[in-house]
Amino acid sequence: MGKIKSIEYFRVLPRWLFVKITDEHDNYGWGEATLEGHSQAVEGCLDAMVQRFVGYEADNIEHLWQTAHRHSFYRGGPVLMSALAGIDIALWDLLSRRLGLPLHVLLGGAVRHKVKVYSWIGGDRPRDVEAAAKERYAQGFRAVKMNATEDVDWLDSPKALETSVERCRIVKSVGLDVGLDFHGRLHKPMAKQLAKALEPHRPLFIEEPLLSEHYEGIKQLSGLTTIPIALGERLYSRWDVKRFLHDTSIDILQPDISHCGGISEIRRIASMAEAYDVALAPHCPLGPIALAACVQVAMCTPNFTIQEMGLTIHYNTEHEGGAYDIKNYIKDARVWDVREGYLDGLKGVGLGIEVDEEEVRRVAKTANAWPPKGFVGPDGSIREW
């Protein structure tokens, strides 16, 4: 046992927010509180949590989680839950490091020895997908994800969807499975058409076919297609998730470990999903700490199915010529080597990675926050991004 001595956070390129917790005996753990486009808001929340939780017992992870969530009165949401996630992940890392065990052992032990993964191609406005798909195949991936469309109007020409179907066909011809991320960009009139057009091409899943707040529309869409429906990155707790499980409107749940309160909450969400025969495929186009935490959860979760990786995702290549990626900030980047569609399970203590603290502190001195993005239509109106 040991009381929390310090909680530090570090904004680093390309768009990540890391958390380090140290106890009074100098045991430490790392977490990730990345909330893309809203780093300053999470940092402000972390400032408040530092004042609250320095002096708490570091081993009492659940008590701290419950205190942060229930004594906040205004609960949930992306900012609070991302800040809490960073602390929660760091505390689990600290505890398992102190005990000299891989984190998944503390969570019940391994149910698999390797983890199926996919990566991204195509960018925000998907293009050049054949070359990108061949590159991913050569890197060892057997599945990828890409944005299904560019920006689309509330009701657009059906022609706006034709290239989406062609891109799906091209990527599958390379020998890859492909998930199509609608990204909440489409409204119901277009989403229904695109799901039907894609169905003969059998994508791995369609993601966020509508924004998560349109739960009644997602329920309707689920009755119109046989393609598995995935969502969850904009659901931040088990309470956000339960409506979709009760409605039986989704097939794959994609909580983000850095948005949904960390390891403690994603484990509870996974158990809820298992009871509804829903698979877990965590969202994670983020940094190496979040990915390591996801891999630890995947190794001990029966209904886990596939893990997103942000290796050279387009968001990472926008900054300084792609100088910062998930192979940065850790001492052994070989843990992210993909073979025949899988990562080897992480076997080291804690999260299974060693953070390069020197690089983290150096980059954090000058890193700017990543700004939110958006689309604007030709008439000047706001479109979903």
Task: List residues with catalytic annotation.
Answer: 183, 283
The residues that bridge with 3 in the sheet, in sequence order, are 57
Angle between helical axes of 61-70 and 78-99 (0-180°, round to 10): 170
| Residue 338 near residue 117 (C-beta atoms within 8 A) | yes
Which residues are within 8 A (CB) of 340 and not within 5 positions of it... i.e. 6 or more apart?
Answer: 140, 142
| Amino acid at residue number 74 | Y
Three-class SS of residue 26? coil
The strand pair at 16-23 and 28-32 is best described as antiparallel
Query: How many CB atoms neighbour CB 289 within 10 A?
Result: 32
As a whole number of angstroms, the distance between CA 74 and CA 80 comes to 9
DSSP string, 214-262: -HHHHHHHHTT--SPEEE-TT--SHHHHHHHHHTT--SEE--BTTTTTS
Alpha helices in 125-182 (DSSP H): 129-139, 162-173
Q: Which tokens in the block code for residue 7?
A: 């909680």
Specify which residues 67 forms β-bridges with. none
DSSP string across 193-205: HHHHHHGGG--SE
